[in-house]
A and B are shown apart, each in its own frame.
Chain A
Amino acid sequence: MATFFNNALENLRATQVWKSIFRRGPAITNRTRSVAVFGNLFLHWLPVKVREKSLRVRAAYYLGSLSLLLFIILVVTGVLLMFYYHPAVPNAYHDMKDLRFVVSNGVFLRNMHRIGAHLMVLLVFWHMFHVFYRGGYKPPHEFNWVVGVVLLLLTLFLSYTGYLLPWDQLAFWAVTVGTNIISAMPIIGGKVRFVALGGNIVGENALLRFYVLHVVILPLLAFFFIGVHFWRVQKDGGLTVRSKDDDGKK
Chain B
Amino acid sequence: MTEKNKIESGFSSDAEKEPRRIVFITRNTSAKVVDERGPKLMTYPHLLVREAIVFEVLIIAMVLIALFWDAPLEQLANPLLTPNPAKAPWYFLGLQELLHFFPPFVAGILIPTMVVVALIVIPYFHVNVEGKPLWGENRSKRLGIVIGVLVPLLIVLVVFDAWTIIVPTALVAALLLASYQSKATSGWMGALRTKPLSWWVMTWFIATAVCLTVVGTFFRGPGWSWVWPWGTHAG
Contact = CB atoms under 8 A, between A and B. Distances in A.
Interface of A: 3, 6-7, 10, 27-30, 33-34, 36-37, 43, 46-53, 55, 62, 65-66, 69-70, 73, 89-90, 93, 96-97, 100, 107-108, 110-116, 118-119, 121, 125, 128-129, 132-133, 135, 137-139, 141-142, 145-146, 149, 152-153, 156, 159-160, 163, 166-174, 176-178, 180-186, 189, 201-203, 241, 243, 245-246
Contacts of B66: 108, 111-112, 115
22 contacts: A30-B9, A43-B44, A43-B48, A46-B47, A49-B41, A49-B43, A52-B39, A62-B54, A65-B55, A118-B90, A129-B206, A132-B198, A142-B123, A142-B124, A146-B123, A160-B89, A167-B77, A168-B75, A169-B74, A174-B86, A178-B92, A180-B104
A28 B4 contact: yes
B16 interface: no
Determine the main DSSP class of B at the interface with A.
Answer: helix
Interface stretch (B56-64, B139-147, B179-187, B225-233): B56-64
Interface of B: 1-2, 4-5, 7, 9-13, 36-48, 50-51, 54-55, 58-59, 62-63, 65-67, 69-79, 81-83, 86-92, 95-96, 99, 103-105, 107-109, 116, 119-120, 122-124, 128-129, 131, 198-199, 202, 206
Contacts of A52: 10-11, 38-41
A189 B151 CA distance: 33
By Cβ-Cβ distance, the 7 closest A-B pairs, closest first, are A142-B123, A172-B77, A181-B108, A184-B104, A111-B66, A173-B86, A49-B40
A17 B214 CA distance: 56
A45 to B, nearest CB: 11
A202 B79 contact: yes
Nearest to B56: A69
A138 B129 contact: yes
Contacts of B206: 129
A30 B42 contact: yes
A149 B78 CA distance: 35
Contacts of B74: 168-170
Given A93-B76, A177-B87, A33 B62 contact: no
Nearest to B206: A129
Contacts of B107: 181
Nearest to A140: B123
Contacts, number: 211
Given A49-B43, A51-B38, A169-B77, 4 more contacts: A168-B73, A172-B79, A180-B104, A184-B108
B205 to A, nearest CB: 9
Contact of B123 (A96, A129, A141): A141
B62 A181 contact: no
A237 to B, nearest CB: 9
B44 A176 contact: no
Nearest to A207: B77
A108 B67 contact: yes
B42 A49 contact: yes
A51 B209 CA distance: 34
Nearest to A163: B89
Given A29-B7, A33-B44, A49-B40, A73 B62 contact: yes
Contacts of B99: 181
B111 to A, nearest CB: 11
Contact of A37 (B43, B123, B198): B43
Contacts of B76: 90, 93, 167-169
A73 B124 CA distance: 34
A184 B105 contact: yes
Contact of B45 (A33, A51, A65, A107): A33
B89 A166 contact: no
Contacts of A51: 37-41
Given A30-B12, A48-B42, A49-B13, A55 B37 contact: no
Contacts of B67: 108, 111
A60 to B, nearest CB: 10
B108 A111 contact: no
